[in-house]
Structure 1
Amino acid sequence: METYVLGDIHGAYRALVQVLERSPFRPGVDRLIHLGDVADGWPETPACVELLLSIPNSIWLQGNHDAWAAEWLASGASPDEVNMSWFLQGGKATYDAYLQGPTERPQQHYQAFFAQQRPYFEDDLGNLYVHAGYNPKQPVAEQPTRDLIWTRDLWRQHQQALGYQECFIGHTPTWPDSPVPTQRANVWNLDQGAAYGGRLSLLNVRTKAFVQSDVVRELYPGVKGR
């Protein structure tokens, strides 16, 4: 079994299909770890969730946009009641996509997917997977989920992920400065700006071989994204 780690999707179903088709990833054999932010930006969050739900042996981490989306999915709030920070930062695309589908789908996806997302994951090889980062001076299990889905210090300050072989994160785009999966110390960043003008990345944890989608903006001509 190989382990593959997937960067921030942000509703880009077409990019998700591309990286899975371009990778030697074997559904049902290999493990897939999604680093969070399946939601918000591009218009196909529900389709992304459906595809991830169909892949056996998957682990889904919570991103900050997922937390926002989950809050709305659980509440069913109207546009004038939603968190406007979410709505204006890609949430409207998620909101509109769910309203265009079956009425039962928001609750189904909340229960089956968003409510099952983890704040972090540690594998048996000593690696840590977390959406945004963590404070390496404290045990990750003792840190608030909000910090794990929001903090950028680990990446921006070039910190070492103490106590781990390697750490895999998303959240802070490396694009446009680095358009490919990027390493600092023992931390790998898999957010290559798929929400903006970059690409979606899928990386083999052992070999570091990776594939990428086309530029996501080109996959959705005429759509703003984030």
Structure 2
Amino acid sequence: MNRTIAIGDIHGGLKALIQLLERIQLTPNDKLIFLGDYVDGWSDSANVVSHLIELAKQNTCIFIRGNHDDLTHKWLQTGKINEQWLQHGGQSSIDAYRNFSNKEIEKHIQFYNQMLNYYVDKEKRLFVHAGFTNLHGPEQEYHPTGFYWDRTLWETVLSLDKSISVSHKFYPKRLQLFNEIFIGHTPVTRIGETKPVNMANVWNVDTGAAFKGKISGIDVNSKEMWQSEPVHILYPHEDGRN
């Protein structure tokens, strides 16, 4: 059976990612779509990237760019430090790369360079870290930062009147462009949930791995879900982004 599995934010929690993949019972036939934010949080940020590079040698993998990936990428390329980034997990990535050789770092920079801002499959499903704002679709977006920073798509579906049908003239045009949209970026723990949440045709797969939550995966066809243990349990002597 060929499965397509979307995996939410990881934030340096390699132990939890490995646990999740074991629970999925991953096979070489499975396609994995990672929704971004591989780094910034737990101590294994750089090791997560190394693991993903190796994983892509045995499985078809799509790697979506997250805002934290973009920030870490810029630091690796320029050495410039964004103070706000440091306050939101960046220090963990700086620490994680201390023992990496220049050759290893160059390999990682190539990985960051090859990430996608978004991906649309044959079933007209969109996979993006945060969202998009252009009513004509992501290909018409004026600036790429919205793909990994924008929260208005998620805010829109949270506030959407459930009595309004898709055909209603006021129904959000962005939601009409795709059959389903899979995102991360905004932890569902903020609305008191612990598993991937479906609102309208949007699935949010960020279950708070950067904080007290888990890393989650979802079969985009069957909607079967898998989760790691709460990541902080696997890193008992760390604070993550708490």
| TM surpasses 0.5 | yes
Q: Which has the larger radius of gyration?
A: 2
Residue in 2 that maps onto 1:193: 208
Please give the alpha-carbon distance, in whole angstroms, between the structure 1 residues aligned to 2:134 and 2:208: 25
Matched, 1:22 2:23: yes
Please give the alpha-carbon distance, in whole angstroms, between the structure 1 residues aligned to 2:54 and 2:222: 25
Please give the alpha-carbon distance, in whole angstroms, between the structure 1 residues aligned to 2:5 and 2:51: 16
Deviation at 1:135, TM superposition (A): 2.3
Deviation at 1:103, TM superposition (A): 3.5
Which residue identity lines up with residue 101 of structure 2 in the other structure? P
Say whether the 8 Å CA contact 2:134–2:140 is kept in structure 1: no
Q: Gapped runs of 5+ residues in structure 2?
A: 158-171
Q: Gapped runs of 5+ residues in structure 1?
A: none
Please give the alpha-carbon distance, in whole angstroms, between the structure 1 residues aligned to 2:175 and 2:132: 8
Please give the alpha-carbon distance, in whole angstroms, between the structure 2 residues aligned to 1:103 and 1:87: 22
Matched, 1:139 2:126: no
Matched, 1:105 2:104: yes
Secondary structure, in 3 states, of the residue corresponding to 1:99?
A: coil
Deviation at 1:97, TM superposition (A): 0.6
**TM-score with structure 1 length normalisation?**
0.93
Residue in 2 that maps onto 1:91: 90
Residue in 1 that maps onto 2:166: none
Secondary structure, in 3 states, of the residue corresponding to 1:14?
A: helix
Residue in 2 that maps onto 1:60: 63
Secondary structure, in 3 states, of the residue corresponding to 1:211?
A: strand
Matched, 1:175 2:173: no
Please give the alpha-carbon distance, in whole angstroms, between the structure 2 residues aligned to 1:210 and 1:30: 14
Which residue identity lines up with residue 50 of structure 1 in the other structure? S
Deviation at 1:136, TM superposition (A): 6.0
Large movers: runs of 4+ above 3 Å? none
Residue in 2 that maps onto 1:13: 14
Residues 206, 24 of structure 1: CA spacing in aligned structure 2 closer, same or farther, 3 A cutoff?
A: farther
Deviations 1:174-206 (A, max 9, x none): 015110010000000000000001110011110
Please give the alpha-carbon distance, in whole angstroms, between the structure 1 residues aligned to 2:66 and 2:151: 13
Residue in 2 that maps onto 1:215: 230
Residue in 1 that maps onto 2:122: 124
Matched, 1:69 2:81: no
Please give the alpha-carbon distance, in whole angstroms, between the structure 1 residues aligned to 2:222 and 2:104: 37
Secondary structure, in 3 states, of the residue corresponding to 1:157?
A: helix
Calculate percent identity across the aligned residue pairs: 37
Residue in 2 that maps onto 1:204: 219
Deviations 1:125-170 (A, max 9, x none): 1100000011262221111210111111111121662221100000
Please give the alpha-carbon distance, in whole angstroms, between the structure 2 residues aligned to 1:174 and 1:44: 23
Alignment RMSD (CA, Å): 1.3
**TM-score with structure 2 length normalisation?**
0.87
